[in-house]
Amino acid sequence: MALEDEYAQPEEIRWEGRYIAAKTRGRWEYVSRTRNVTAAVILAIDNDHVIMVEQFRIPLGRRSLELPAGLVGDDDGGEGEDPQVAAARELEEETGYRAGQIVSLGEFQSSPGMVTESYTLFHATDLEKIGEGGGLDGEDITVHRVPLAQVDAFIAARRAEGYAIDTRMLLFLGARLISV
């Protein structure tokens, strides 16, 4: 059966929680966020430094090195939130930085064969430190301001310490390869 034909089969919800739902369509199993919530991911660069965050991720059972990010419209009554507004909010909450400019770089899918989640990638510049960051209560986010010239070594050191490395860290590898 062609995948397009399989897609024509009805979607079935096998399990649904408050934030995610496990679904099937034909022989495919996948996960989606409830309420069609999307995410905002922020590539924040300040004077040749990038802002990264680390936090413990329950599904992985370890700390993860990531770009600042968060859900768009995830609070009750937050439906219809503008992704750029969410990006600015999440950047401030997680890192303590306010961006003078935030530009959308487009919408992307996290893992298209397994989840329906999408995110909009934003480039934040003209950063001003306005607080400590760390996220909301219980998030325990550590903020890192890393010189761009040291990003590879910083990521390698975290990997050697056993950290999970978010796939979006490939942005730095891709930029380095393009500039060669």
Contact, 134 vs 92, CB < 8 A?
no
Q: Can you list the positions of beta strands (E) in 62-130?
A: 62-66, 69-72, 97-109, 118-129
Contact, 146 vs 49, CB < 8 A?
yes
Tokens describing residue 173: 């590898």
Q: Is 107 a catalytic residue?
A: no
Tokens describing residue 172: 């730095």
Q: What are phi and psi of 78, to 5 degrees?
A: -90, 5
Torsion of CA 121, 126, 132, 134, to 10 degrees: 0
Of the candidates 4, 92, 139, 161, the residue annotated as catalytic is 139
Three-class DSSP category at 28? strand
| Composition of the chain by helix, strand, coil, percent to 5 | 25, 45, 30
Active centre residues (catalytic): 139
